[in-house]
Amino acid sequence: MTAFGASGLLIMAFERLLGYNFKMKIINRYIVKEITAPLLLGFLVFTLIFLIDKTRELSELIVRYGVGFLPAVQLFAYVLPAYIAITVPMGLLFAVLFAFSRFNSDNEITAMKTNGVHVNSIAMPVIVFGLCISLLLVLFNGTLLPRSNLAFKKLYFNIVEKRANVAVQEKVFINDFNGFIFYVDKKDEKTGALHNILVYVLEKNNSPVYTITAPEGLLASDKDEKRLILKLKRGSIHQALGPGLSGYNLINFDSYDIDLDINSALAGASNAKGFREMTFSELSEAINNFKENDIKDVTPQIEYHKKISIPFACLALTLTGIALGISVRLKGMSWSIIMSLALIVVYYYFLITGDALAQKGTLSPIMGMWLPNIVIGTVGAVLLLLAMREKIKF
């Protein structure tokens, strides 16, 4: 089945669901067909852009850490749905902008109006198409996405358990091991040598007991490769003493070994579900449990509404894309991409802001996650209304 045929079936199904017939005339089918090709193109381009960095990471797993090709490909497949969830709205925005800008530049919209086709009739099938994509993405985010996130987590931790040095990356504060936080400035993947190492040894309340610094060190694994030994060379131990931490103790050493239990980092983690790995029903259960136990964390509520609000970005961005496409003459694909990226940056700015405000309690999780849709959708609806009445034109 072609992409055009699939899109036509989506709209026809939605028409039957609402009990309303849009009478997919030739002009409407033509418009949807013109959107389908750039939608696929935009989706592929944006997905590839997001996957470039992830591809580099997976290549390093194969080349540097000796991870098998098949597990690396599996990781790639498991992470792909997470990108699909955000690149589909991006691709749809680009498609709508590109198609309607071309209609505008080629005077096709003017020709349609001359033949008695109202702008409403031109926009409606695209709006319905965007709504259908939104509903499909909600289903996708509630079923396949959590499962793929959990599968990625399990497989990654399985790889780390077998090849513990994967867990240690340079220029990152690592707190995966009980009792320690450490930082490695540089890591030589060929020799395993570590440079400029900083280690915080923690008490039970996670406050530092003493600090260890060393210009160089080495990671060694036991035979089962489930335990790391951090071998430090020519370093020093720094410890503050006294009730008011007025005293100070400094010990220099030629070599010092720290036993890092990889099992503490992995204990239960491979099977534990985070909120990103939960379905709607599991998130609802977590939300209820938090409320019953008076836990103030709103993260599960944020994740629940995010799984719905991001898919409905398709509808909000479609409204804005149609309005701008009708009003602005964008010649060429490059300008459509640039404007799409600009709108996407604005959308995710509001999404990040809404997330932060919801975490602080300034906004409710619902309002925080729906803020970008409300802003972008309202602006798009107003612009589309003005464009239909020919009040704006660029």
Supply the pLDDT for residue 330.
64
- Domain span at residue 380 reads 3-143+283-388
160 part of a folded domain = no
Ranking 11-15, 92-96, 187-191, 250-254 by mean pLDDT, the lowest is 11-15
295 shares a domain with 245: no
| Tens-digit pLDDT profile for residues 235-285 | 998 887 655 555 678 889 999 988 876 555 554 444 567 888 899 999 999
Place 62 in a pLDDT band, splitting at 50, 70 and 90. confident
Supply the pLDDT for residue 160.
66
| Tens-digit pLDDT profile for residues 98-132 | 888 888 777 777 777 777 767 777 888 889 899 99
248 shares a domain with 186: yes
The CA distance from 33 to 361, in Å, is: 44
253 shares a domain with 289: no
121 part of a folded domain = yes
In this structure, how many other beta carbons lie within 10 angstroms of the beta carbon of residue 68? 11
* Backbone angle region of 134, left / alpha / beta, with phi > 0 → left and psi within -120 to 50 → alpha: alpha
272 part of a folded domain = no
Place 317 in a pLDDT band, splitting at 50, 70 and 90. very high
Task: Determine what percent of the chain is predicted with pLDDT higher than 70.
Answer: 79
Helix (H) or strand (E) holding 195: strand 193-202
Query: Region 176-195: what's the mean pLDDT?
Result: 80
189 shares a domain with 287: no
Supply the pLDDT for residue 18.
45
Supply the pLDDT for residue 167.
61
How, if at all, do strands 180-187 and 208-221 pair? Answer: unpaired
271 part of a folded domain = no
**Structure tokens of 81?**
């749905």
DSSP result, 17-79: HHT------HHHHHHHHHHHHHHHHHHHHHHHHHHHHHHHHHHHHHHTT---HHHHHHHHHHH
275 part of a folded domain = no
The mean pLDDT of the chain is: 80
Place 52 in a pLDDT band, splitting at 50, 70 and 90. confident
148 part of a folded domain = no
Number of structural domains in the chain: 2
The CA distance from 19 to 24, in Å, is: 14
277 part of a folded domain = no
Ranking 26-30, 123-127, 140-144, 357-361 by mean pLDDT, the lowest is 26-30
Query: Region 189-208: what's the mean pLDDT?
Result: 76
